[in-house]
């Protein structure tokens, strides 16, 4: 089987688009932050700012955390832009408690802004950015919390659809991503859905205590999306990837779990090798195996 690189302009991606319209990792956005401070009645500690491509996170003088996110209007869907707020309905999941939010439209810049205030989490993300290449040496208590949290999450039902990287996950999206990268006759019919975080990676998991961060994309998703996402993001550390596979074997070896793993791996192998780094080769190997399993 020949893996086919995709045209970046047309890729349906779960890996962040490197050609995004706006990148909050550069620039000050001081006017935006001042507006959030006024609206939420807080003051930020600007000496410790966490910047991501589409969000800025800051601690407040109230002992809380505020995450400010930007989206273009075309990313807004009928279900709204309130994933963090609606995650407050989830019980049995280790996550920060949501307190309040504010959102507004900036027609001059053609952008939408939203800020969510949650409880402050003292522990740091396992890997704030980039690819995890060193074993984080997580405790058994950590694994137990993750296991119980994902089980509790999967037991919830919601009208929300998961939006990995702001794109609603649908059968059509999965079909297109896999066919572009892999071609061939592959059975990608999704038969099982469950509630998922939808952006479960090492930047959104803390340690030494396990907490799941950044809930803006959660919703119903094909079964196994979360374990597959974490497994794929651990491929640079074989022992860690093996542990995740053992923990979630039932989900990952289900038909839908295999489709989700192929969906994520196909996106990695479609990206330039320089972008996916040490994930590229093991993802290619996984694609070869999964295509054989799913061929019609």
DSSP assignment letter at 54: S
Residues 113 and 133 in one domain: no
The average pLDDT across 7-28 equals 54
User: What is the reported pLDDT for 77?
Assistant: 72
User: What is the reported pLDDT for 9?
Assistant: 32
Contacts (Cβ under 8 Å, ≥6 apart) of 95: 87, 149, 211, 212, 213, 215
Residues 88 and 207 in one domain: no
Q: Which of 97, 119, 141 is the last residue of a domain?
A: 119
Residues 106 and 208 in one domain: no
In a domain, 8, yes or no: no
Residues 161 and 280 in one domain: yes
Question: Tell me: the pLDDT tens digits for 219-232?
Answer: 999 999 999 999 99
CATH number for the domain spanning 146: value is 3.90.1200
Residues 247 and 272 in one domain: yes
Q: Is 125 helix (H, G, I), strand (E, B) or coil?
A: strand
CATH number for the domain spanning 61: value is 3.30.200
How far out from the chain centre does Cα 256 lie? Answer: 18
Residues 179 and 275 in one domain: yes
Residue 145's CB is within 10 A of a number of other CB atoms, namely 19
In a domain, 202, yes or no: yes
Give the helix/strand (H/E) hosting 107. none
In a domain, 199, yes or no: yes
Residues 92 and 129 in one domain: no
In a domain, 260, yes or no: yes
Domain count, the chain: 2
Residues 165 and 190 in one domain: yes
Q: Which two tokens stand for residue 53?
A: 């491509």
Question: Tell me: the pLDDT tens digits for 98-138?
Answer: 999 999 999 998 999 999 999 999 999 999 989 999 999 99
Q: Which of 80, 101, 119 is the last residue of a domain?
A: 119
Q: Which structural domain range is residue 93 located in?
A: 30-119
Q: What is the rounded distance in angstroms from the CA atom of residue 273 to the CA atom of residue 257?
A: 25
Confidence of residue 271 (pLDDT cuts 50, 70, 90): confident
Q: Which of 119, 137, 167 is the last residue of a domain?
A: 119
Residues 144 and 199 in one domain: yes
Q: Which range has the worst mean pLDDT, 9-13, 181-185, 278-282?
A: 9-13
Residues 112 and 128 in one domain: no
Residues 110 and 197 in one domain: no
Q: Is 104 helix (H, G, I), strand (E, B) or coil?
A: strand
How far out from the chain centre does Cα 219 lie? Answer: 12
In a domain, 19, yes or no: no
In a domain, 14, yes or no: no
User: What is the reported pLDDT for 53?
Assistant: 87
Q: What is the mean pLDDT of the chain?
A: 91
Confidence of residue 21 (pLDDT cuts 50, 70, 90): low
């Amino acid at each position: 089987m020949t893996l086919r690189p995709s045209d970046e302009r047309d890729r349906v991606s779960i890996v962040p688009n490197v050609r995004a319209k706006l990148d909050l990792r550069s620039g000050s956005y001081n006017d935006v932050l001042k507006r959030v401070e006024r609206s939420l009645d807080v003051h930020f500690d600007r000496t410790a700012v966490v910047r991501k491509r589409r969000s800025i996170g800051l601690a407040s003088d109230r002992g809380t955390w505020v995450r400010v996110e930007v989206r273009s209007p075309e990313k807004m869907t009928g279900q709204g832009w309130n994933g963090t707020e609606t995650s407050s309905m989830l019980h049995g999941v280790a996550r920060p408690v949501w307190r309040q939010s504010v959102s507004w439209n900036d027609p001059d810049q053609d952008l939408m802004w939203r800020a969510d205030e949650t409880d402050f989490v003292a522990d740091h993300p396992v890997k704030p950015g980039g690819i995890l290449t060193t074993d984080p040496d997580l405790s058994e208590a950590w694994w137990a919390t993750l296991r119980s949290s994902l089980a509790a999450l999967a037991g919830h039902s919601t009208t929300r659809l998961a939006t990995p990287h702001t794109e609603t996950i649908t059968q059509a999206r999965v079909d297109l991503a896999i066919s572009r990268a892999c071609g061939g006759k592959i059975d990608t019919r999704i038969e099982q859905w469950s509630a998922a975080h939808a952006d479960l990676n090492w930047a959104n998991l803390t340690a030494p205590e396990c907490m799941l961060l950044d809930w803006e994309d959660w919703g119903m998703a094909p079964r196994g999306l979360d374990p597959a996402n974490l497994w794929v993001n651990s491929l640079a550390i074989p022992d860690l990837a093996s542990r995740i596979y053992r923990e979630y074997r039932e989900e990952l070896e289900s038909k839908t779990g295999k489709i989700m793993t192929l969906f994520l791996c196909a996106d990695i192998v479609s990206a330039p090798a320089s972008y996916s780094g040490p994930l590229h080769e093991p993802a290619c190997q996984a694609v070869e195996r999964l295509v054989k399993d799913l061929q019609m």
